[in-house]
Amino acid sequence: MKDRQALSFEVFPPKPEMDADLSGIGETISDLKTAAPDFISVTYGAGGNNRPRALDIAAVILSNGMNPLSHLTAVGYTSDDASRVLDSLEDLGVKNILALRGDIPKGQGMDEGAWKNYSRASGLVRYVSELGQFCVGGAAYPEGHQQSVSRAADMEFMREKEEAGASFFITQLFFDNDAFLSFRDDASAAVKSPIIAGIMPVFRARQIKRIVEISGCRVPEKLSSLLDLYLDDDASMQEAGIDYAARQISALWREGVNGIHIYTMNKSKGVLEILRRCGLRGRGSL
Ligand code: FAD
């Protein structure tokens, strides 16, 4: 990212009943390889049940000759727990970690012990970066986090994470490029590290409506009318969603973003079509 714009993907560990032997996600990963991504990130369940599978998926990414970025969440962990996971990741050959706080488990408050050693992501960022083995990144929120009190406070959280050792940020999804660009202007006054724009393509209207509710991101009028129009028509929504994401990514790329990170939802075909329309590949993009 020091030299050029990056292209990356996020995948998640599929439920064991959907893909017991990980052959489905293995196929997704080898499809995604054709876009020559700079890295592929693997989410980590704050609930804990998919953790071993997240490590297995990082191994699949490595065995495909690509660079995994393993997410690691702090909630529910002591630093000894984190240390054991980090040892396993290092043994696998993982060199990059996205250090996150994780969401508060349902029914618990910030002071109920779930946070153990880390009540903010910056604590975990510091712990991982002080090990000296990993390149560490953090999360950023162009339209604020559900717990945000102000833009100024959010900038302070980012500054704290950078000071603790985060050398890049990946944003939450957003559909409104102006929201991202105004956030980038403010953030570049607070931090020096590259900020990668997180883009979630719309493949199914109902799924995105749920995600929007949780994340609180703004849906521009143009997209919101498509979501309503194609609420029960997945094929048309997928076509319109691919078009929307391709336009969104192309415009951001022209704005000189440090990188584009696509939340693939493990759907490689749609993602590859988006990139074809943008004329984009990683590792030396157009
Ligand atoms: P922090 O940096 O500690 O806080 C994030 C923001 O929350 C701050 O910027 C601030 O605005 C606000 N905030 C938090 N605490 C306070 C407070 N006390 N007072 C005021 N404001 C506050 N979750 C998973 O479980 N697994 C994953 O794999 C995963 N991957 C993610 C990847 C990306 C790119 C992003 C953006 C999020 C991801 N998340 C994941 C979700 C994340 O764990 C949650 O959003 C969590 O609530 C905050 O984590 P953080 O690391 O951003 O925390």
DSSP string, 185-216: HHHHHH--S-EEEEE---S-HHHHHHHHHHH-
Which residue, by CA, sits nearest to atom 23 of ligand 1?
A: 102
| Residue closest to 142 by CA, chosen among 67, 252, 62, 55 | 252
List pocket residues of ligand 1, CB cut-off 6 Å.
43-44, 46, 71, 73, 100-103, 120-121, 139, 141, 145, 147-149, 153-154, 157, 161, 170, 172, 198
Centroid of ligand 1 to alpha carbon of 267 (angstroms): 24
pLDDT digits (tens, 9 = 90+) for 139-148: 999 999 988 9
pLDDT of residue 116: 66
DSSP H or E stretch at residue 128:
helix 121-131
159 closest CA partner among 186, 181, 133, 177: 186
pTM given for the model: 0.96
User: How far is it, in rounded angstroms, from Cα 274 to Cα 242?
Assistant: 6
* Pairwise CA distance, residues 263 & 150, whole Å: 26
Model confidence band, residue 281 (pLDDT cutoffs 50, 70, 90) = confident
Residue-level pLDDT at 286: 41
The first and second tokens of residue 240, run together, are 């319109």
Span 104-128, pLDDT tens digits: 777 776 666 566 678 889 999 999 9
- Delineate the domains of the chain, giving CATH numbers in brackets: 6-278 (3.20.20.220)
pLDDT-wise least confident of 13-17, 173-177, 256-260: 13-17
Angstrom distance (rounded) from CA 224 to CA 213: 13
